[in-house]
Amino acid sequence: MASTNRQEGFNLIELMVVLVIVGIVIVIGVPQLNSTIARGNISAESNRLMASINFARSQAVNKQQVVTLERKSNYANNWAEGWTIYTDAGSEGNQAINLAGGDILLKDIVADSTELSLLANGTANHWISFLPSGRLAEAGQVIVAVCNDDLVDGIEGSLLVVNLVGRTSRSTIAAADKPGTCAP
């Protein structure tokens, strides 16, 4: 009986070719993956804020009370740290929550991503309030830009607009317009 001493497996050249191919795929794929994740984060946070605004409006109509969203951040126009939604017992609107005064906390939203900016126009500097009719209590429409922090990376942002009737719309901020729209 003749014994065959045949080895099976990869030789060094085959292994190196596979590693080079894997390296090329990683170099090409990772930036695309990061862009996809950034777009997903912008979309998710835009959807969450839009859902909160719509919730506040519907609660104002259903409860026949003023309902307010209040930003948590100490920085003007910055909604990136989250917001609270509450009924305003005094019906003043656009004032800080006062639980001792009868305000009722409906939701407390905490920011998910520290890599996003949510910057509002002066109308929504601190609050967004809805009247029992569902109309916006502010003097003008509310605009909030949702963008990732890198303003020149080519990734689009999202623009939320709440008109005086209280309806919210969403549009895309072109990547070229981000430095002017998303910067404080």
The dihedral formed by the CA atoms of 111, 114, 115 and 119, expressed in degrees to the nearest 10: 60
Domain that holds residue 117: 12-181
Does residue 4 fall inside a structural domain? no
Per-residue pLDDT of the chain (184 residues; tens, 9 = 90+): 566 677 677 788 888 999 999 988 888 877 778 888 888 899 999 999 999 999 999 999 999 999 999 999 888 889 999 999 999 988 888 888 889 999 999 999 998 767 899 999 988 889 999 999 999 998 899 999 999 888 778 888 999 999 999 999 999 999 888 888 887 6
Asked if residues 79 and 120 have their Cβ atoms less than 8 Å apart, the reply is: yes
Does residue 167 fall inside a structural domain? yes
Listed residue (25, 48, 54) closest to 165, CA to CA: 54
Does residue 142 fall inside a structural domain? yes
Does residue 2 fall inside a structural domain? no
Query: Which pTM value belongs to this model?
Result: 0.82
- Distance (Å, whole) CA 47 – CA 93: 24
E strand spans, 4-156: 66-71, 82-88, 104-110, 116-120, 127-130, 142-148
- Distance (Å, whole) CA 163 – CA 165: 5
Does residue 5 fall inside a structural domain? no
Does residue 1 fall inside a structural domain? no
Q: How many domains does the chain have?
A: 1
- Distance (Å, whole) CA 170 – CA 154: 19
Domain containing 54 — which CATH number?
Answer: 3.55.40.10
Q: What does the pLDDT read at residue 55?
A: 97
